[in-house]
Chain A
């Protein structure tokens, strides 16, 4: 394990003149050149843009301008984000024939405005439909903690580049767990904010009813700084919050003494012994022994599954009609089947969603934070098709999101936090808050990090 400076550390060194932004960009590009051949996380390295953005930051500093907290920080994005001048792949071959994006996705533009330095675009499951990042066109992305294992998905490249230390920040997207699952399997922090909190404009959609974007980082302070830079209203995303920005970074150190914390029982009580242990440690550190039951969570997962399949199928119907053979086989048949789902099933899923949301929101009347497992176990091996869960053999692609799906289904904000366990593959927990209370989940994650319970050490590759 080795230490590398985090995002805020790099920005501070640049502000203090100990390092130029250009040097920081060159160091990140050198790490990418040395590590990515082992991990296959990047589908494009944007060296020219990175050096130009870094040079602009150095010029601003030279002019005496005040630099933002992320100025000069290298980052990379899942390749479903529009990057001006680059064709957005969304993990597919089909999109590769489309014209380049005319402008940056809003999230990329926000980070550019904050002075962050874009280093490249990252591998993912095709059209974000998966939890494994074993992409038929662009290959599998390897887990930095054990390259024979998957990094999770669909934002697998985003988790791998942060976990391996190539860059301190990355952006992903999460429809059913696609930020939280790879964060857990790669042992880093991820934030899936409240549905509608961050603009998704210019991020290739999957199931618009459930799509979120969010950041990955190796520390809670870095995660919060990136989240804060991404906030703001955006007329290009019809569900994006129009209200004022609510910065989380200033809240982190407020502690957790006044927060009511509970652990999710029932459906969320993990079978995996390691997960039981890390949840118990997190609960103890947050001074709780209370349990809550999230009702009908298995039904919620089923309803999320239906909405996702139907919306994904409908979105891709034109290409499914004319060029089905060009899809990733692991995705194609699910999309076709999704396109055929009877309307009554999807409407039932949406009606259930309204009922379920009310049930879960009632839990937050006397609880601020709910803890739950993130992925159902450590990273499976690349190529592994099935795993044991609940006494049954289940398909990995379909099952890695069992604990994440019922939460994104109703848009709750969740921090995925890696819990330290010496010498073992990473495992993570979900720190769940009520809608718009990201700062509470981040405070709890920060408290766990301060106690040394949540950590994201960089493995030696």
Chain B
């Protein structure tokens, strides 16, 4: 499932881009959650969708 995603390094770079400091105390929990999110995201990003599937700008169920 998990391939070349380095959550720790990603957290450092993405947080810097957002101007979001992550304390040493919070970092392990954040990295753990990012790993989990990445593995869940693969279920979605690897799901084959027709190219013309669009996001509805206004969501009407």
Contact = CB atoms under 8 A, between A and B. Distances in A.
Contacts of A298: 43
Interface stretch (A56-64, A337-345, A422-430): A337-345
Interface in A321-375: 321, 324-325, 329, 332-334, 336-342, 344-345, 347-355, 357, 361
Interface string B34-61: 1011001101110101100111101111
B1 interface: no
Interface in A287-304: 296, 298-299, 302-303
Nearest to A322: B21
Contact of A354 (B18, B33, B41, B54): B54
A325 B23 contact: yes
Given A306-B37, A329-B29, A339-B20, A345 B45 contact: yes
A296 B47 contact: yes
B40 A306 contact: yes
B53 A337 contact: no
A67 interface: no
A354 to B, nearest CB: 6
Nearest to A411: B61
A337 B34 contact: yes
A209 B47 CA distance: 21
A41 to B, nearest CB: 28
Contacts of A177: none
B55 A351 contact: yes
A296 B48 CA distance: 11
A332 B29 contact: yes
Contacts of B54: 351, 354
Interface string A408-419: 001110000000
B10 to A, nearest CB: 7
B18 A340 contact: yes
Contacts of A156: none
A138 interface: no
A354 B14 contact: no
Nearest to A310: B37
B45 A209 contact: no
Nearest to A350: B55
Contacts of A340: 10-11, 14-15, 18, 20, 30, 34
Given A194-B61, A337-B37, A352 B44 contact: yes
B32 A333 contact: yes
B26 interface: yes
A223 to B, nearest CB: 21
Given A302-B44, A337-B30, 16 more contacts: A196-B60, A209-B59, A298-B43, A303-B44, A305-B37, A317-B18, A325-B23, A325-B25, A325-B26, A329-B29, A340-B10, A340-B20, A340-B34, A347-B55, A351-B54, A357-B61
22 contacts: A302-B41, A303-B44, A305-B40, A306-B44, A325-B23, A332-B26, A333-B26, A333-B29, A333-B32, A336-B20, A337-B33, A340-B14, A340-B18, A340-B34, A341-B41, A344-B45, A347-B55, A349-B44, A351-B54, A352-B53, A353-B55, A354-B56
